[in-house]
Amino acid sequence: QVQLQESGPGLVNPSQTLSLTCTVSGGSMSINGPYWSWIRQHPGKGLEWIGFIYYTGSAYYNPSLKSRLAISVDTSKNQFSLKLSSVTAADTAVYYCARVRTGTTNYFDYWGQGTLVTVSS
Amino acid sequence: SSELTQDPTVSVALGQTVRITCQGDCLRSNYANWYQQKSGQAPVLVIYAKNNRPSGIPDRFSGSSSGNTASLTITGAQAEDEADYYCNSRDSSGKHVYVFGTGTKVTVL
């Protein structure tokens, strides 16, 4: 059973960089080619896809966040990471990491529990 | 980017059938997936690639699609099905861009 766990600061100052890591257990990050994704949910709102990365390092980003976003992967540690720069209060959200199964369509089959990140001074 | 529109709220009597719809141009060329999110919890995949259920998802959940609309049907709704439901698909740009629907709150009466 694949499990994902987000970790990182729960409070970030405005204009700083939000950094989160997702640790994957119970499965390989590269076998059978899943992607690894970040998704966020603003308080009381819907889900927003942030981006995802392949184990090779190829990454795809939400165009609305692309200029501030970097997703990286470290398969030796079974981890992938998110960095979002120049944050504002609008980046306050629960951040989820998820596995992306590929095939006829891509879908998010395993999710972490989520971590709340608040942007505030 | 594409948008996926869902009705904000839907209610269903216990044991009855409810259909949740998701509309968007990207659905004309891409399959929809569906996620259930209970209060305070992470989303759970319930339907993928239009009408496939992951292991452990009850067969009362089914999916369908026609034109620009995808649907999730719960046949014989149970109290534990009360949750928010989100559709998701690939953007119609042809690039690796993914979108979620606006979400539907399902209340089981």
What's the confidence (pLDDT) of residue B95? 81
pLDDT at B43 over 60: yes
B1 pLDDT exceeds 60? Answer: no
Cβ–Cβ under 8 Å, residues B89 and B31: yes
Average pLDDT, stretch A50-61? Answer: 94
What pLDDT was estimated at residue B26?
93
**In this model, does residue B2 exceed pLDDT 70?**
no
Residue of B nearest to A102 (CA): B49
Return the pLDDT at B92. Answer: 83
Counting Cβ atoms within 10 Å, is residue B93 exposed (0-12), middle (13-18) or buried (19+)? exposed
Region A8-37 average pLDDT: 92
Q: What is the pLDDT of residue A104?
A: 81
pLDDT tens per residue across span B46-102 = 999 989 999 999 999 999 999 999 999 999 999 999 999 999 999 888 788 999 999
Contact A56, A40 (CB under 8 A): no
B1, B30, B44 ranked by CB distance to A63: nearest? B1
Beta carbons of B43 and A96 less than 8 Å apart: yes
pLDDT average, residue stretch A94-113? 94
Q: Does B43 sit within 8 Å of A111, measured CB to CB?
A: yes
**Rama region for B64: left / alpha / beta (φ>0; ψ in -120 to 50; rest):** beta
Q: Which residues of B touch A (CB under 8 A)?
A: 1, 30-31, 33, 35, 41-45, 48-50, 54, 86, 88-90, 95-103
Q: How far apart are the first and last CA of chain A?
A: 39
